[in-house]
């Protein structure tokens, strides 16, 4: 029987070669590949600074904590339809998350919802670009954030190298990308912060390295002296991981073409099942990284049995995200109700998608979906 993983990393001999090279060199912690990866991202996304960190979550936390440092307290708007890391980073930084509802048809947070939830207590806004799809109103949202002086964080874990009007996700505000094993490029764990603020760049670089600035003693004749200027943490990406991610980033274009090919198969075949499945609107070129391929089951009573059916047939379908964060134990606040989010969470399904998925594997997934609905 054919087996189709939900998402399988695209690893080649080049990744093995770079690991061997770094191992033999001995520079597994610090080294040149961190700098090369950061420069690659800054160039690719059109930002002044990119900062490699040990996870996307750490990156989100650093940005939230930086703003907490400036304003001491306040509320940050964030969608509940997201992985809990987005909200956890706000809460763990000492700020208050305020949940936004989703537009079920577009899978985006609308500007109208942001305006409705903005109050004098609002100091920040976190936009989560979902499933590889850049938020279609990000230009308008960015303008609103600037007008209201809201600190805009973009959770770009799933939207590497997407853009609207030639401006990349992660450059409208301050972005964070993920290198987790399911993402478009991976080194197992890791992430990168993108910003054009020199102040944010310097503060985060210090914070993620134990708060130490090597030359903070002034003219220091003893290079082994280290001075902690802020109470930082160790959130750095290793040179070994950066080397893997750098090799992956250089192959991003080829890997992306493969994802687009799979998406075309899905769009073409599943559109015939419109009585049973709703496929979110196909976006323009470069607006979707196809990190995931979500569909909506119109009869939500069938959703769970549909996913189990695919899993029993060796198809790694899953659900992102159920329950939404505002329904999870850590955030289950009395009186919070987000109608569109709650409905979407009960009917969304994620189909397998990766740049190593074959045409025959995709055809197998489609055939089993047709069998489920007896088409």
- Count CB atoms within 10 A of the CB of residue 92: 15
Query: What pLDDT, on a 0 to 100 scale, did the predictor assign at position 223?
Result: 73
Shortest CA distance to 77 belongs to which of 63, 92, 103, 98?
98
Cis before 90? omega within 30: no
Residues 328 and 365 in one domain: yes
Q: Assign residue 63 the CATH number of its domain.
A: 3.40.640.10
Q: Assign residue 354 the CATH number of its domain.
A: 3.90.1150.10
Residues 334 and 234 in one domain: no
Last residue of a domain, one of 250, 265, 293: 250
- The backbone torsions φ and ψ at residue 55, rounded to the nearest 5 degrees and listed phi first, read -170, 160
Residues 286 and 344 in one domain: yes
Question: Quick check: is 5 in a domain?
Answer: no
Shortest CA distance to 153 belongs to which of 73, 237, 68?
68
Range of the domain at 160: 13-101+108-250
Q: Are 278 and 298 in contact (CB under 8 A)?
A: yes
Question: Quick check: is 2 in a domain?
Answer: no
Last residue of a domain, one of 195, 226, 250: 250
What's the distance, CA 250 to chain centroid?
A: 19
What's the distance, CA 246 to chain centroid?
A: 18
Question: Quick check: is 72 in a domain?
Answer: yes
Q: Are 68 and 279 in contact (CB under 8 A)?
A: no
Structure tokens belonging to residue 58: 């750490």
| Alpha carbon distance 37, 31 (integer Å) | 11
Residues 309 and 245 in one domain: no
Question: Quick check: is 25 in a domain?
Answer: yes
Q: How many domains does the chain have?
A: 2
Residues 234 and 294 in one domain: no
Question: Quick check: is 27 in a domain?
Answer: yes
| Alpha carbon distance 126, 161 (integer Å) | 19
Last residue of a domain, one of 197, 222, 250: 250
* Per-residue pLDDT tens listing for the chain (375 residues): 799 999 999 999 999 999 999 999 999 999 999 999 999 999 999 999 999 999 999 999 999 999 998 888 999 999 999 999 999 999 999 999 999 999 999 999 999 999 999 999 999 999 999 999 999 999 999 999 999 999 999 999 999 999 999 999 999 999 999 999 999 999 999 999 999 999 999 999 999 999 998 755 556 677 777 889 999 999 999 999 999 999 999 999 999 999 999 999 999 999 999 999 999 999 999 999 999 999 999 999 999 999 999 999 999 999 999 999 999 999 998 789 999 999 999 999 999 999 999 999 999 999 999 999 986
Query: What pLDDT, on a 0 to 100 scale, did the predictor assign at position 215?
Result: 57
């Amino acid at each position: 029987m054919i087996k189709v993983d939900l998402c399988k990393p695209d690893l080649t001999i080049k990744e093995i070669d770079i690991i061997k090279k770094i191992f033999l060199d001995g520079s597994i912690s610090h080294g040149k590949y961190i700098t090369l990866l950061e420069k690659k991202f800054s160039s690719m996304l059109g930002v002044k600074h990119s900062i490699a960190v040990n996870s996307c979550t750490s990156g989100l936390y650093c940005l939230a904590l930086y703003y907490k440092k400036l304003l001491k307290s306040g509320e940050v708007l964030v969608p509940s339809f997201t992985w809990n890391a987005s909200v956890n980073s706000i809460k763990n930084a000492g700020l208050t998350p305020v949940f936004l509802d989703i537009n079920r048809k577009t899978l985006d947070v609308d500007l109208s919802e942001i305006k409705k939830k903005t109050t004098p207590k609002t100091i920040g806004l976190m936009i989560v670009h979902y499933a590889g799809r850049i938020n279609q109103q990000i230009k308008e949202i960015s303008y609103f954030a600037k007008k209201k002086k809201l600190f805009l964080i973009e959770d770009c874990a799933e939207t590497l190298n997407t853009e609207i009007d030639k401006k990349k996700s992660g450059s409208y505000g301050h972005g964070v990308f993920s290198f987790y094993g399911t993402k478009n490029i991976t080194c197992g764990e890791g992430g990168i912060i993108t910003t054009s603020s020199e102040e944010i760049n310097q503060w985060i670089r210090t914070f993620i390295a134990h708060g130490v600035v090597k030359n903070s003693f002034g003219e220091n004749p003893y290079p082994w002296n280290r001075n902690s200027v802020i109470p930082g943490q160790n959130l750095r990406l290793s040179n070994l991981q950066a080397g893997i991610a750098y090799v992956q980033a250089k192959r991003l274009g080829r890997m992306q073409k493969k994802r687009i090919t799979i998406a075309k198969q899905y769009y073409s075949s599943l559109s015939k099942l419109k009585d049973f499945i709703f496929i979110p609107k196909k976006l323009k070129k470069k607006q979707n990284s196809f990190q995931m391929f979500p569909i909506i089951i119109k009869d939500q009573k069938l959703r769970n049995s549909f996913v189990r059916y695919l899993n029993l047939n060796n198809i790694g379908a899953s659900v992102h995200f159920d329950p939404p964060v505002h329904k999870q134990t850590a955030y289950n606040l009395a009186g919070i109700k987000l109608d569109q989010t709650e409905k979407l969470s009960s009917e969304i399904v994620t189909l397998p998608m990766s740049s190593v998925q074959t045409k025959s594997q995709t055809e197998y997934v489609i055939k089993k979906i047709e069998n489920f609905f007896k088409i």
